[in-house]
């Protein structure tokens, strides 16, 4: 938990363009922010001019309207420039989102009064070293997934910790997750739930075959290398983004990012467990923080 530096004044309101009424609600949010004495720029999450203004640090805070997928996309925009993020859920599941659709009118006065806290979420940096050439590094909020491609056959992956072999898997894939990502694909694969503000790396195999089937939790200072050994297609995907193809011998290096994602919270720190229980009781079989939702 970190204290906020003061009330935000210049706010970007970013809406998911494919959600019905999102822009209308976003305009209402912007109007209320202005009525409370702030300034607000409202637009689509994919509006290039608005995105460039966020990247140029022209805003004190970003409000994202959508679901968890919207939060991930907005988080990738905010974290590199240290801009805090507040979510209003108008999508489906909103485990990462702070406010429900019917709550924002109640909480916006508190936002502009500075009555909130920041929650610092650890991120990862992933570098793919592949036969086709080294890829640009990826910023990771949820997880890095190295998995089989279109063929329904397991792949062999080796995990190295700080350059030293620790474990090999024959599995559908291997997830390297942040604590935030522990409630995403890793949870669906049977992994543990990590509190959001701790700084550990989670390794979780997916459908391992005659291999270690337990999650491994690593310290913040660890560097993990995932090396692929396969005679057929494998892929790597970061936070649900389109996959990059891998061949045998390719590897992905993952370490803790120097940046963190700052998320605005009005609730007390125990909110995480209350929300988790609510979602799990609602439908315990649903992956509650997915990479591909709105």
Instruction: Please identify every residue annotated as catalytic.
Output: 68
**Residues 175, 232 contacting (CB under 8 angstroms):** no
Length of the chain: 294
Q: Under 8 Å CB-to-CB from 201, ≥6 apart: which residues? A: 124, 176, 177, 178, 217, 218, 219, 220, 222, 224, 254, 256
Cα–Cα distances in angstroms (integers) from residue 148 to residues 123, 168, 221, 235, 245, in the given order = 24, 15, 28, 6, 10
Q: Which two tokens stand for residue 249?
A: 């011998």
In eight-state DSSP terms, residue 68 is H
Closest CA to 1 of 269, 260, 273, 257: 269
Alpha-carbon distance of 138 to 238, in angstroms, equals 7
Q: Under 8 Å CB-to-CB from 241, ≥6 apart: which residues? A: 138
**Residues 84, 118 contacting (CB under 8 angstroms):** yes
In the block, residue with structure tokens 């916006």:
108
SS3 content of the chain, % helix, strand, coil (to 5): 20, 35, 40
Cα Rg, the chain, nearest whole Å = 20
Alpha-carbon distance of 88 to 154, in angstroms, equals 39
In eight-state DSSP terms, residue 103 is T
């Amino acid at each position: 938990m970190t204290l906020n530096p003061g009330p935000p004044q210049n706010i970007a309101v970013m809406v998911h363009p494919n959600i019905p009424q999102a822009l209308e609600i976003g305009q209402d949010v912007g109007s209320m922010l202005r009525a409370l004495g702030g300034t607000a720029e409202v637009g689509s999450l994919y509006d290039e001019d608005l995105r460039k203004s966020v990247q140029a640090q022209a805003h004190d805070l970003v409000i994202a309207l959508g679901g968890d997928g919207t939060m991930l996309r907005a988080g990738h925009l905010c974290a590199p420039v240290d801009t805090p993020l507040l979510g209003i859920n108008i999508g489906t599941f909103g485990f990462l989102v702070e406010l429900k659709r019917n709550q924002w009118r109640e909480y916006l006065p508190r936002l502009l009064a500075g009555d909130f806290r920041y929650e610092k979420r650890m991120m990862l940096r992933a570098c793919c070293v592949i036969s086709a050439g080294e890829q640009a590094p990826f910023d990771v909020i949820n997880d890095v997934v190295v998995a089989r491609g279109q063929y329904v056959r397991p792949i062999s992956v080796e995990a190295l910790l700080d350059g030293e072999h620790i474990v090999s898997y024959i599995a559908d894939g291997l997830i390297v997750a942040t604590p935030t990502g522990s409630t995403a694909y890793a949870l669906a694969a049977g992994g543990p739930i990590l509190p959001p503000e701790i700084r550990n790396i989670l390794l979780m195999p997916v459908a391992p075959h005659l291999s270690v089937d337990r999650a491994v939790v690593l310290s913040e200072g660890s560097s993990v290398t995932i090396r692929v050994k396969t005679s057929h297609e494998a892929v790597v995907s970061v936070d649900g983004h389109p996959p990059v193809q891998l061949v045998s011998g390719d590897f992905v290096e993952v370490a803790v990012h120097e940046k963190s994602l700052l998320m605005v919270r009005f609730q007390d720190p125990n909110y995480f467990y209350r929300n988790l229980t609510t979602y799990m009781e609602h439908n315990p079989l649903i992956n509650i923080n997915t990479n591909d939702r709105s």
